[in-house]
Structure 1
Amino acid sequence: MINTEIKNQTTYSSQSTKNAILVIGGAEDKVHGKEILQTFFNLSGGIDAIIGIVPCASREPSLIGERYYRLFNDMGAKEIKVLDVRDRSRAEDSVYRNFVEDCTGIFLTGGDQLRLCGLLADTTLMNRIVERAQKREISLAGTSAGAAVMGRHMISGGSSAESPNRSLVDMAVGLGIIPEVLVDQHFYNRNRLARLLSAIAGYPQLIGIGIDEDTCAMFESDGMIQVIGKGTVTIVDPREMSYTNHREVHGNEPLSMHNLKLHILSHGDRYDLHKHLPLNRSIS
């Protein structure tokens, strides 16, 4: 459980930010302080929140949808609906589409990111969710698989505990909610730094974001990322990378990557996406 000082910092941040996109590394606290979920709830309007839960990444959508329904209901949300999409035609349901027009927050649960994209990518429902989130008309959160889909390109699978190589990571098309980033989750918990580096070697125009469990990278409307939670957010900035052998090597042959920038951010730290600069919590 996060100490009182950190909890107070999180409360202040959630009150001072109007709508945001919360990218959560998975396994967020659902029992004790619930700082990340509480932040999403506050940003969605608190007791006036109208929250849609999208559980279709899970193979047990009813079970996972009900779990988050109870959590946000206990917090006091005004209205909650589980958008239980199990085939692409359901994403055209007028009841769901109308709800998305009225909602103040959308929560994408964990599961399988390929399943999530397969059911929702380029549907009327998801296109409208993405549009409203990018305009900051709503707050949007995604955890685990719901975090992986945030970029235009996404990590769909792979391995760990090896040096960076092309066979270490599987790539697919994401939902493009934050097109300029490439997200990996359960990050240090599952030793995924080499996997993210392997992905970035092939997409050096993107910023790599690795998010630990019970940790959130909160993308604010002014281009700032703020870190919430007990772990860290790792940022890989390849913009000045001077060399990679990505095009020359094959399979599990090791990758070279020269002149990368790597930032490790913890609770209260921020990162300016426009200036590509990290800021510690003591800088206002």
Structure 2
Amino acid sequence: MANSRISFVSNILIPILTGIITLVLFLLFRPENAGALFYTNMIYTLLLEGFLFGFLSLLQKESKNISGAFYSIISVGAIYYIIFGSGWMIAYSLLLTAILSYKVYIAVHSIIFLLFIIVGSIVTRTDNSYHEKTEEQTQQMRSIRFYTEKMNQLASKYLQQGIDKDTDLSQWDGYKVLGTLITKINHLTPSIFRNDMAVKQLSNMLENCEKIVAEMEEVPDSDLNMIDRKMKRFASNAIDEITLLRNLSRG
């Protein structure tokens, strides 16, 4: 409740009061022969105040889609725009009215605003591109974790099935090479998932490993050596494929 009151005061009440006070001051000191310049300055000042309070309100709203760097750059740009805009307004009104025409005054304001829009557009596009790349990399890292965890589960199941058959497979070649394969998968770079072939190969590895683990459950104790050799052969071939995929992704 307290936060909503503070938000109402800072985001609504203060901007409205500031605008009213600004309007009253302009009208209070309005010259008798007030012309286009006076009313232009009054309207422009109100717009600058609205821009300032609107920007401050935007900064209070955190967004996962907007980076801190974006806020920083846009903040600096907004401050510069307000400084240059108000500075040009004051300088022209007090010093340059006899030298430069009203059209030049408006033209300079337009140029300042246009520069701010151009810079803001460039920063926005850059920030969007950064977020897209970050999101893509995050998804790729999740894929790596998925394949790693899935292979770890299969390795644990494979080891447990050996224990169920009164055999410790942890020192057998098949299990050792499988552990090496899991390490290789865990150390894959996210860029590898830009290659559809890589994703297909990894999925095939999971499928083939699942088949061997399932087969392990069905074979008699006398065939454990055969299954271990099969696991070793599978894991060795998979390691070679991982190495090839990594080389292709670098190229």
TM over 0.5: no
Normalising by structure 2, we get a TM-score of 0.24
Q: If you compute each CA radius of gyration, which structure gives the higher value, 1 or 2?
A: 2
